[in-house]
Every structure is written in structure tokens, then in C-alpha cells.
Chain A
Amino acid sequence: MEALGNLLLGFSVALSPVNLLWCLVGVFLGTVVGVLPGLGPAATIAMLLPLTLKMDHTTAIIALAGIFYGARYGGSTTSILLNIPGESSSVVTCLDGYQLARQGRAGAALGIAAVASFVAGTIGVLGLMLVAPPLARFALRFAPPEYFALMTLGLAMVVFLAGPSMIKALLALLIGLWLSTIGIDLFTAESRFTFGQAKLLGGVDFIAATVGIFAIGELLVNLESRAGAELFKVAKGFRNLLPTLQDLKDCRFAFLNGSLVGFLVGALPGAGATVASFLAYGLEKAFSRHPEKFGTGVIEGVAAPEGANNADAGGALVPLLTLGIPGGNTTAILLGGLILWGYRPGPLLIQEHPQLFWGLVASMYVGNFLLLVLNLPLVPLFAQILRLPYYILYPLILGISIVGVYSVNNSSFDVWVMALFGLLGYLMRKLEFPAAALILGMVLGDALERALRQSLMMSQGDIMILATRPISGTLLLLAAVILLMPAARKVRSWRLDAIERAG
């Protein structure tokens, strides 16, 4: 009941014309930033922070938070249409989204991404509203061994990203893990695999690598075969450009899966939306009735990760608002903003400034709705891009990729990294190595290694610390089950074969 009263207070704040307007401005900007690869919400919010000083503080956080979760909506657009991941949390969306676009279902994929984002975004806010303090306390139980187990569970998802050959998938994964070790090692301050290059001290930029592997690699393959000219079909008529009722039905589980995984992982300060999106995709495939179709363009393969990265936004606000602990770059900027506006973000924030917290929560319901209304009409419009002839479309993809990658760090070195990874992506496609497995290794490698070394430091080198703690033990068990699934499936098919032969 108390929550209801507070929520009413929140809506009275969020629905004031000024706040409504700034919420719209925020989510619109967020969408734009999300669509553009490279430019991310953290940099955008940092740039706009000075402008908010003269605004009412609640209005300011409503607008800036709008950029934060709005960017998650836009991230899927270039992933689906052009195979260019718009944000790192939309990398997985490329796998099935782009295939759907090639089959002429770009509109359906974009539409389902918007709907999944709306559903999961709303569930994320619901969670933020109802369970934030207990969830934050639960998240504090995550120490390095738990993070290690979570990352291992993530790695186990390689099973679902593998193509026909598991060996090739594991090899790609190992290369990804290796790539994640490049740079200065946090624990010894020594550099690894930098080949004397100061520019590699910071590691390989993730956006540069993924854009290279996905977008440039795909481009090179298509250039090779002139058939690329007619790769895309675009359905005629407005109604065919939106998801069908059947699509929505197929995604029921994906919506829920994405929402829960995204929200829970989001509440952990050391994980992040990219990890959440990979986990949701893997789980979706694990429980699917047609797992073999994933990667060829199934609609749930878009809904699950897109849902996860939106629910993550709600989750990420849990430690920020209840404890004053930022989980990532963007929430760190928001924390900086709160301090700049004169708040004291910490365990007492919600209690002392209820109108700020509840106004923000209410504005996020409104914002998610605005995003849906804003994004759905854009879907048929965006889908028209694919009508462009290849001699316009391909230079466009190349241009967007270069500008996007350059703008992450204003570094031309990163553009070369992208080019190199483009070649790698091309070779991997030719040799049928799954690129997604390599990306998975890159996403998780750093956090996995760190968590393992931290755990061993905690236990004075006793590896049993990983298995004997309840949360990490459970997660590791789950990972083992997932890893054994393909083997189990094989055994079952042998048995069926044997029975058939015997019969």
C-alpha cells in the first residue's frame, strides 16, 4: 500500500508537463545515441551534465536516465539491419536479427525488439520499485567466487553459439579469451601481449572488434558473391513490416526470460548488460523447442537479448539508488550528477528524497511507453533502408562502421583494429568458425580471469572456494549441466537409432 501511495506521488512528479517533456527529450536522445554505433549513453550524459545544473534536479535525472535506458532501445536497429552492433549489449542481437532481415523480416525483428524492450523495461522498473532494497542486499552476497561462477555459466553458453563443429567453437572461444588478456594486468601492473605497443596497453576495444567481425566480415563475404545485390527482400505493405501475433506468441517466454535475467544481472555491480544479453540468448535456446534454428533467424533470438539489456537498465539503478554504488560507466556518471546537484547518493537517498526516487521510477514507466510509441512507427521507415541498392548500402555500412568505431575513443588506431578484425571475421565465416563464440570469450574473459584470481587470493590458493559456497556452487552445477547437454542429446539420438535398428 505504501508503495502505491509513493507511486502516486511519483506520477504526480513525472506527469507534470515539464518533466514529461524532458522525459521525452531524454528517451528520444537515448534512442538516437543507441542507433549510432560508437557514441554511447555514458559519453552523451557526461556532455549534457553541465546543462542540467540550472534545471530542477528531479527533472534532470528523469532526462538523463531517459538517455540511459533509451539507448538500449536504439541499440538493436543497426544490429538487425546492417549487422553493426549499435551498443556492446546488442552484439547478440546481430545473430538472429540480421538473419531475419536477410529473409525480409527486418520489420518483424525491429518491432519485436521494441516490444521486448518495452515489456522488459517495464518489468525492470517494477522490480526497481518493489524489490530494490532486498535485492541490493542479496547482490552484496556476490563475492569473486560467485562472479566466477556466473561468468563460467556465461562461458557454458558457447554450447548454444556453436555451429556444426563444437571444436571450432571452443577454439574461437579460446581466441576470444586470449584477446581479453591483452593490456595491463590489474594485479601485477605488468603488460601482456602488447608487443611493445603503447596503444594496446588499454586492450583491444570491444566495439572495434565486434563491428569488424560482424559488419566488415559480412560485407567482405557479400562483396565476393555478386548475389549480394539481391540479398534483402523488403516486405510490401505497412502491416507486413510489423511482428505478427504469432511472433508475439512465440516470444512469450523470451520476454520473461530476458526481463528476469537482465534485471538480476543488472543489479550486480560487476557484470553488465552484455553478459546479461548473452545469458538470456543462451537460456532461450536451451529451453527452446527448436534450438537448431537459432542463428538462422528466429524471432525469440532477438526478443531475449533485447529484453535483457533493457531490464538491465532497471537493475543497474538498484545498487546506485539504494547504496550509492555505481555498477558501470553510465551509472557512475549519474552518480556524479547526483553529487553535482547537491544530493548525497547513498543508503539514505530514497528515505530522504522520496520525490526523486519515486519521480524517477514513475518517469521510467512513462519513458518506456514513450519509447514504444516513438519506436514502432520508425520500424517500417528503418526497414526501407534495405531497399537501397548494394552499391549505396555497402559504402553506407562501411562509413557508419568507421565513424562509429572512431568516435568511441577518437582513435584511428581503433579503425585499424576494426579492419583487422574484419579480415578475421571474413576468414572465420569462410572456415565456418562461429564468430559469436569468439565475442563471448572477449566479453567474459576479463571478468572471468579477474574473479578467479580474486577468489584464489581470498582463499590463499584453495580452489575449493569456488565450489563450496552455495551460490557459486549452484551456478557452477548449472554450467556443468549446460555443458553436458549436447553430449546427452547425442547419447539420446544414438539410443533412438539403436532402438530403431533393433526394432
Chain B
Amino acid sequence: MKNTMRLTVAAATVAILFPQLSWGQDFKPSKQIETVVHTGPGGGSDLFARAIAEMLQKENLIPQRMQVVNKSGGGSAVAMSYLAEKKGETHTIGFFTGVWVTNPLTTAEATVTIKDLTPVVRLVLEPAVVVVKADAPYKNMKDFIEAAKKSPNQLRQAGGSVTGRDNLMRLLIQKATGAQWTYISFPSGGERLSNLLGGHVQMMVIEPQEAGEQIRAGNLRVIASLTEKRLPSLANVPTIKEQGIDVTIIPQARGVVAPPGVSRDVVHYWEGVFDRFTKTATWKQYLEQNQFEDGYLKGPALAKFFDDLTAQMRDVLKEAGAKVVR
């Protein structure tokens, strides 16, 4: 017992003094890295994964190519169960989003949860803003809420799946203000945006990057940012809390997970790669271009993030009246 103790202390000392000797360096990819995303080519996660793959190669941080594999369908269920089948596979990773947390909560068949997979890193948090058409009478969030109160369920919001962040934020805001409006699901961002621009819906929750050009062209107006602090690129737009609506801000995170049962070495390897990557100018520039928030997180903190988010989502979904299956 005493001997083991001494060994551990010795090993820890060596690890602290000579970090380059630490066990994390044992793994190095020796073949193509299969990179699983839950959207088809052109979807948000697909484009994100491809951009990361490109930047990692440009910065010479990985010795092998990353091959993006599209496992779309069933929200994130198909991609997640594919990763679960690859148990222990060292050359496979997946790109998660918030859907990977909410989807298993509402879908009985989606038996693989984010807890079953091995957390690697969280990379970004995507902020969101509330937009209306530029010629709409709503100058700020309060105007919209007042109008919605005056004629309940007459105003319409375009969004994605009912378990998506845009609908959950709607439910939280409705609860906080007592206003009611309708939520209409559209499968693609393109359809959402064209319905807003065509005046068929009055409002949508959108990522600032996606709305950027429409704002610049004078087609859309931002009436609130769904963030804790004001966005640097939209400094004159007050946050929803500044406008007196006190709601929990649901984060939209993106990052990397590995299949279940992969060794610490593999996780360490990727942590090392992303430690260096997130310090590069390329990464900083990418964050700025896409107006993402740096959300870098790893290790126990990331595991805790998944736990907290799962609990929070379960509450929000229940509150919203959705059927929560696990």
C-alpha cells in the first residue's frame, strides 16, 4: 500500500516536471480519423466539422486526415448509436451539439445518451438573437411581447424542431411574460428565413452570423440578444435580461466526443491537439468570423457541463409540456 502510494507520488512528480513525458502522448492517429456528424452535407454540424478538420490540417496539428461521415436522421439518434457501436474505436470521433442532449430525452428509440459517449472537448457556444422584419412595428422585445399579449397566438415564430433551442427559449419567455404566440417548425434554415422575409411569420431566433447579411442589407432588425452580455458585433442591441425579461439562457454548444470505452490516452491526445489549436490565430479568426463565443472546456468540467445541461433540459422540456422519456 505504502509502496503504491510512493510510486504514485513519484509518477505525479515526473508528470508535473516533464509534461512531455506524460502518458497522453502514447496515442497518435495512424490512419484516417472517422469524424461523425448528425447532419447531411451542408448542415450546421457538417460545415462546422469540415471547417475544424481543415483548420487542424492547416495548422499541422494532426498527422492524419479527418474524414467527415454524415450519419443523419432521427435528430442525432443515428449518429449517436453509430458512435456507440464503435465502442473502444480509437480513430473515430463525433461532433456534438445541444440536440445530442435533448434528443434522447424526448425520443424513446434514441437509447444512446451523451453520458454513454466519452467527452473530449467543448469548443464553442453559439449566441442567438431575436430578429423581426425591418419594416415590422416592433422596435424591441417589449413591443413584440405587448403585441403578442394584445392578440394571443396571432403572432408567429419560425423555427426548427420543437425540442430546439429556439422553441425552448420561446417557452421560457412566454412563461416569464405571460404572452402567447405560435411556433411553426420548418426543417431548414433557408425556409425559416424566407418565411420571415416574406412576412408569413413575424419573428425568429437565429444565429447572428446567419442573420448578418440580412441585417446589413436592411431586411431584418435585431430586437434582443439571447445572451448574458451584449454581443460585440451588435453592441447597440440590449440583451433580453436588460429588457426586463428574466429567463435562463439556454446555451447552444458544439464540441467533440469519442465512442464509449476509449482509453484516457486517446482523450489526452485530442485534448492536447485542441489545447494548442484553440490558441492559434486561425481559431480566433474563425470565432470572430462566425460570431461564436469561445466555449473551450474539457475533462471533469465538460462532464459536469453535460450533467447540468441534461438536468436543465429535462426541466425546461417538462415545463414546456413535452413528453420526457428518460
A-binding segment of B9-17, B212-220, B245-253, B264-272: B212-220
Task: Give the contacting residue for A269; candidates B72, B161, B190, B323; CB below 8 A.
Answer: B190
Given A198-B77, A346-B213, A410-B69, CB of A188 within 8 Å of CB of B194? no
Q: Does A196 contact B (CB under 8 A)?
A: yes
Task: Give the contacting residue for A184; candidates B71, B74, B194; CB below 8 A.
Answer: B74
Which residue, A189, A194, A409, has most C-beta atoms of chain B within 10 A? A189
The distance from the CB of A458 to the nearest CB of chain B, in whole angstroms, is: 6
The CA of A326 and the CA of B51, in the complex, are separated in Å by 19
Given A325-B190, A325-B193, CB of A189 within 8 Å of CB of B42? no
Residues on A with beta carbons closer than 8 Å to the beta carbon of B46: 46
Whether A42 contacts B42 by the Cβ 8 Å rule is yes
Whether B41 contacts A191 by the Cβ 8 Å rule is no
Whether B54 contacts A45 by the Cβ 8 Å rule is no
Q: Does B283 contact A (CB under 8 A)?
A: no
Q: Does B191 contact A (CB under 8 A)?
A: yes
Q: Does B70 contact A (CB under 8 A)?
A: yes
Whether A332 contacts B185 by the Cβ 8 Å rule is no
Whether A457 contacts B78 by the Cβ 8 Å rule is no
Q: Does A34 contact B (CB under 8 A)?
A: no
Whether B190 contacts A140 by the Cβ 8 Å rule is no
Given A45-B41, A189-B106, CB of A332 within 8 Å of CB of B190? yes
Q: Does B27 contact A (CB under 8 A)?
A: no
Whether A346 contacts B182 by the Cβ 8 Å rule is no
The CA of A184 and the CA of B76, in the complex, are separated in Å by 11
Which residue, A53, A198, A329, A330, has most C-beta atoms of chain B within 10 A? A198
Interface string of A220-251 (1 = CB under 8 A from B): 00000000000000000000000000000000
Whether B197 contacts A458 by the Cβ 8 Å rule is no
Whether B107 contacts A201 by the Cβ 8 Å rule is yes
Q: Does A50 contact B (CB under 8 A)?
A: yes
The CA of A187 and the CA of B153, in the complex, are separated in Å by 17
Whether A198 contacts B78 by the Cβ 8 Å rule is yes
Interface string of B151-190 (1 = CB under 8 A from A): 0011010001111000000000000000000111111111
Q: Does B322 contact A (CB under 8 A)?
A: yes
Task: Give the contacting residue for A336; candidates B42, B69, B154; CB below 8 A.
Answer: B42
Whether B153 contacts A183 by the Cβ 8 Å rule is no
For window 182-200 of A, CB contacts with B under 8 Å fall at 183-184, 186-191, 194, 196-199
Task: Give the contacting residue for B53; candidates A50, A347, A458; CB below 8 A.
Answer: A50
Whether A189 contacts B322 by the Cβ 8 Å rule is yes
Q: Does B200 contact A (CB under 8 A)?
A: yes
The CA of A330 and the CA of B40, in the complex, are separated in Å by 10
Task: Give the contacting residue for A324; candidates B69, B186, B213; CB below 8 A.
Answer: B213
Whether B185 contacts A454 by the Cβ 8 Å rule is yes
Whether A187 contacts B162 by the Cβ 8 Å rule is yes
Given A42-B40, A332-B43, A347-B219, CB of A143 within 8 Å of CB of B77? no
Task: Give the contacting residue for B194; candidates A202, A323, A333; CB below 8 A.
Answer: A323
Residues of B in contact (CB 8 Å), total 61
For window 402-439 of A, CB contacts with B under 8 Å fall at 409-410
Whether B185 contacts A42 by the Cβ 8 Å rule is no
Q: Does B28 contact A (CB under 8 A)?
A: no
For window 191-206 of B, CB contacts with A under 8 Å fall at 191, 193-195, 197-198, 200
Whether B163 contacts A335 by the Cβ 8 Å rule is no
Task: Give the contacting residue for A187; candidates B57, B109, B185, B189; CB below 8 A.
Answer: B185
Whether B217 contacts A347 by the Cβ 8 Å rule is yes
The CA of A187 and the CA of B187, in the complex, are separated in Å by 10
Q: Can you name the residue of chain A whose Cβ is closest to the Cβ of B79? A: A202
Given A46-B68, A196-B109, A458-B182, CB of A201 within 8 Å of CB of B74? yes
Q: Does A366 contact B (CB under 8 A)?
A: no
The distance from the CB of A36 to the nearest CB of chain B, in whole angstroms, is: 16
The CA of A196 and the CA of B111, in the complex, are separated in Å by 10
Residues on B with beta carbons closer than 8 Å to the beta carbon of A141: 198
Q: Can you name the residue of chain A whose Cβ is closest to the Cβ of B74? A: A201
Whether A346 contacts B212 by the Cβ 8 Å rule is yes
Residues on B with beta carbons closer than 8 Å to the beta carbon of A184: 74-75, 77, 107
The CA of A340 and the CA of B55, in the complex, are separated in Å by 11
Whether B74 contacts A202 by the Cβ 8 Å rule is yes
Residues on B with beta carbons closer than 8 Å to the beta carbon of A194: 109
The CA of A382 and the CA of B45, in the complex, are separated in Å by 39
Given A50-B54, A143-B200, A323-B197, CB of A270 within 8 Å of CB of B191? yes
The CA of A183 and the CA of B161, in the complex, are separated in Å by 13
The CA of A189 and the CA of B214, in the complex, are separated in Å by 30
The CA of A348 and the CA of B40, in the complex, are separated in Å by 28
Q: Does A124 contact B (CB under 8 A)?
A: no
Given A140-B197, A346-B216, CB of A454 within 8 Å of CB of B186? yes
Q: Can you name the residue of chain B whose Cβ is closest to the Cβ of A40? A: B41
The CA of A46 and the CA of B219, in the complex, are separated in Å by 30
Q: Does A74 contact B (CB under 8 A)?
A: no
The CA of A331 and the CA of B43, in the complex, are separated in Å by 11
Q: Does B125 contact A (CB under 8 A)?
A: no
The distance from the CB of A179 to the nearest CB of chain B, in whole angstroms, is: 15
Whether B73 contacts A191 by the Cβ 8 Å rule is no
Given A199-B78, A327-B190, A347-B214, CB of A191 within 8 Å of CB of B107? yes
The CA of A186 and the CA of B186, in the complex, are separated in Å by 8
Task: Give the contacting residue for A201; candidates B43, B50, B75, B198; CB below 8 A.
Answer: B75
Q: Does A203 contact B (CB under 8 A)?
A: yes
Interface string of A107-145 (1 = CB under 8 A from B): 000000000000000000000000000000001111110
Q: Can you name the residue of chain B whose Cβ is closest to the Cβ of A190? A: B323
Given A140-B197, A184-B75, A332-B190, CB of A191 within 8 Å of CB of B109? yes
Residues on B with beta carbons closer than 8 Å to the beta carbon of A183: 73-74
Which residue, B182, B183, B197, has most C-beta atoms of chain A within 10 A? B197
Q: Does A49 contact B (CB under 8 A)?
A: yes
Q: Does B108 contact A (CB under 8 A)?
A: yes
The CA of A144 and the CA of B182, in the complex, are separated in Å by 14
For window 380-408 of A, CB contacts with B under 8 Å fall at none
The CA of A336 and the CA of B72, in the complex, are separated in Å by 18
The distance from the CB of B85 to the nearest CB of chain A, in whole angstroms, is: 11
Interface string of A161-198 (1 = CB under 8 A from B): 00000000000000000000001101111110010111
The distance from the CB of B285 to the nearest CB of chain A, in whole angstroms, is: 11
Given A46-B46, A335-B42, A454-B184, CB of A198 within 8 Å of CB of B110? yes
Residues on A with beta carbons closer than 8 Å to the beta carbon of B107: 184, 189-191, 201
Q: Does A319 contact B (CB under 8 A)?
A: yes
Residues on A with beta carbons closer than 8 Å to the beta carbon of B187: 186, 450
For window 217-235 of B, CB contacts with A under 8 Å fall at 217, 219
The CA of A270 and the CA of B322, in the complex, are separated in Å by 27
Q: Can you name the residue of chain B whose Cβ is closest to the Cβ of A446? A: B187
Whether B111 contacts A198 by the Cβ 8 Å rule is yes
Q: Does A43 contact B (CB under 8 A)?
A: yes
Q: Other than the known A323-B193, A324-B213, A336-B50, what 19 A-B pairs have Cβ atoms closer than 8 Å?
A: A42-B42, A50-B54, A140-B197, A144-B195, A184-B77, A186-B162, A186-B185, A198-B78, A201-B73, A201-B78, A323-B197, A326-B190, A329-B41, A336-B47, A347-B219, A410-B69, A457-B156, A458-B156, A458-B200
* Pairs A-B, 3 closest by C-beta atoms: A202-B73, A346-B213, A201-B74
A-B contact pairs, 28 of them (CB 8 A): A42-B42, A46-B46, A50-B54, A140-B198, A142-B198, A184-B74, A187-B162, A189-B103, A194-B109, A196-B108, A198-B81, A198-B110, A198-B111, A201-B109, A269-B194, A323-B194, A326-B42, A326-B188, A329-B40, A332-B41, A332-B42, A333-B41, A340-B51, A344-B216, A345-B213, A409-B72, A450-B186, A460-B182
